[in-house]
Amino acid sequence: MQRRRARPRASDQPDPRSAPAAPTHPARRWWQTGHPRTRAWPPPPGRRAERLPKCARLFGSGTPAGGRRGRRATTPPVFRASRSGTTSANAGVSMNRHFIACELGETAGRVVLGTLQRDQLSLSEVRRFANAPVRDKDALLWDVARLYQELLTGLSEAGALEETVDSLSTCGWPGDYALFEADGTLLPPVFHHADARTAQGREQVLARWSAAELFAETGLGDTPRSTLYQLAAENARRLKRADHLLPLPDGFNFLLSGVPCVEHSTAGATQLYSPATGTWSRRLPLALWLPPKLLPPVIRAGTRIKALRPELASVTKLEGAQVVATCAHDLAATLAGLPAEENEVWACLRLGATASLATELTGPLVPPPDDAAALHRLSGCHGTVFAWTEAPGTRLLEECRAHWARADYALDDSVLNYLASTAEPLESVIHLADERFATPGELVAKMQAWCRETGQPVPRKPGSVTRCLFESLAFLYRRRLDQLAQATGREFSRIYLVSDAANSLLHHFIANALQRPVVVAPSQSAVIGNLVVQMLALGRVKSMPEARALVRRSFKTVTVHPHPAPIWSAAYDRLLELAGVRAPVPVTVPETEPELV
């Protein structure tokens, strides 16, 4: 029997305070610092380890278990990087690809990290921040300095994840712009399109050109976000001092890359760009006395601009990331991120504070004569062109909620939806395109007055008012959709709905009013479109059909089917009769006509 070795006494143990421990980096793993029990690996130069760790026996070492020399030590293959940067043991297996989308909405902004892994795209929101205009005396301005700092903070948080980011890009709302000096310095202030000067500029522009003439020149009719209207009221000394003008999404891409350029979709939103010639309009800037140097080159979506500025790359830890021009117009980015099928005739309803309806153009856009100011043209990715129009959105519901909150009758969405679902269906309908509903304020009183004037029951309780509003919004979207069908000569088989609010009651009302299937697409469609165009620019995705297939694989959708109830069609006909308008009649568009009329 082998004699058991006696345990050493405490007095025989060395004092741990007498010999300093070897420094160990906190990020090192046990195969770098030695076996977790013996700490005998790797051995000092010229000496063999007393105990060989298991990882060394598996993956090779200076002295293998078999005693043969000459093999150099290697790390486990799962942690060994190839030249292409992959962390896989097999260099042929593709690694995850990472992209950053910076989205600037009118109420909030966010920085999102997109990961492409095995033909699947996943999103991870890195940072979200509030975005609201600030009031400076009588002016309504954007706090661009704070927004830029928020973006840098979000990029730094993404860089702290220690993932190799291939590219990044910014998309946001169109129309508003920033002026920069020759050295890249921002010329404050940056005005909001709701500032009072926009209305003054609109009067000056429409006094010289009609909405139909503006549409023929720029593809945009009378839109409240027009850069043209704001420039008509701009200070001449600021324009003379500025070196270039950039829409806000392109302005942030300029701050990140140092290269001034304007992406196609935001160039069209300025109402200074001529889609017929593919260049800046000569007629409109000349009439406003704009210096020619003020308008930088126009590039297409999917163009690599430049690498992230070195000083920003070192701060954010995003070395090597490329700044890419995606669809900078948030609506164009949303349309690029839809899970639409190939050869499908579809339209999109983006439901927010202001709703937008859009469809892809395959021929000329011929707006009806009485609604020429309501339709616009939008350039997308890979040569796609869209027709779109605007309509009131959830802002109307927020006005009603504010009205009830002032009366100490605050209600949340779930309660309002329940009350609306139990109210009488289609009792009163309202023509929300009436001019009285264009200006905010006293919405409930305006709705009640319209019902009295048309001889309908007057909604008084929150449930009946909410139901009347939802049904009227659904009918308004049907009319806008009919106008799109008339202008494009297409019949839509499916509607894609993009909404931040999960309001299933409103979604069902929209499907019933349109009498078409409504596919509820991901609410992050603008971010998805931003990321998809970056992948196209870097060759990670080969074509738009392949990109849309990627979106379909990666994100779930819900289809709302309409109820075939004749009561909805009868109520829509009654609304048109009360409003004194006629239903649009689809027209046949000749293929030989020019692209823009």
Plot region of 455 (φ>0 → left; ψ -120 to 50 → alpha; else → beta):
left
Q: How distant, in Å, are the alpha carbons of 275, 366, 509 from that of 216?
A: 10, 10, 36
Residues of the chain with CATH 3.30.420.40: 97-329, 331-394+475-568
What does each of the 597 residues of the chain score in pLDDT, given as a tens digit?
Answer: 555 555 555 444 444 444 444 444 434 343 344 444 444 444 444 444 333 333 322 233 333 333 443 433 333 333 222 223 333 333 333 479 999 999 998 889 999 999 999 889 999 999 999 998 999 988 999 999 999 999 999 999 999 999 999 999 999 988 899 999 999 999 999 999 999 999 999 999 999 998 889 988 998 888 878 899 999 999 999 999 999 999 999 999 999 999 999 999 999 999 999 988 889 999 999 988 898 889 999 999 999 999 999 999 999 999 999 999 999 999 999 999 999 998 899 999 999 889 999 999 877 776 655 554 478 889 998 888 999 999 999 999 999 999 999 988 888 888 999 999 999 999 999 999 998 998 888 999 999 999 999 999 999 999 999 999 999 999 999 999 998 998 888 899 999 999 877 788 999 999 999 999 999 999 999 999 999 999 999 999 999 999 999 999 999 999 999 987 789 999 999 999 998 876 665 444 334 333 332
CATH number of 331-394+475-568: 3.30.420.40
Grouping H, G, I as helix, E, B as strand and the rest as coil, residue 94 is coil
Tell me how far apart the alpha carbons of residues 116 and 501 are, in angstroms, rounded to a whole number: 27
Amino acid (1-letter code) at residue 373:
A
Cβ count near 465 (within 10 Å): 25
Q: How far apart are CA 85 and CA 76, in angstroms?
A: 16
Q: Is the Cβ–Cβ distance between 402 and 380 less than 8 Å?
A: no
Q: What is the pLDDT of residue 387?
A: 92
Q: What's the DSSP call for residue 128?
A: E
Sign of CA dihedral 201, 206, 209, 210: positive
Which phi and psi (to 5°) does residue 263 adopt? -80, 155
- The domain defined by 97-329 folds into Nucleotidyltransferase; domain 5 (3.30.420)
Q: How far is CA 97 from the centre of its chain?
A: 20
Residues in the chain: 597
CB count within 10 Å of CB 131 equals 20
- Of residues 463, 477, 487, the one with CA closest to residue 394: 477
pLDDT of residue 211: 86
E strand or H helix at 267, and its extent?
Answer: helix 264-269
**pTM attached to this predicted model:** 0.81
**Token reading at 506:** 């409103």
Q: Report pLDDT for 582.
A: 66
Buried b (16+ CB within 10 A) or exposed e, 523-556: bbbbbbbbbbbbbbbbebbeebeebbbbbeebbe
Contacts for 219 with CB less than 8 Å, ≥ 6 apart: 268, 273, 275, 365, 376, 377, 378, 596
For residue 253, which amino acid is it? N
Tell the residue number behind the tokens 């860089």, with chain if given.
159
Query: How many angstroms separate the Cα of 173 from the Cα of each of 17, 87, 109, 500?
Result: 63, 38, 11, 16
Taking the C-alpha atoms of residue 72 and residue 74, their distance in angstroms, rounded to an integer, is: 6
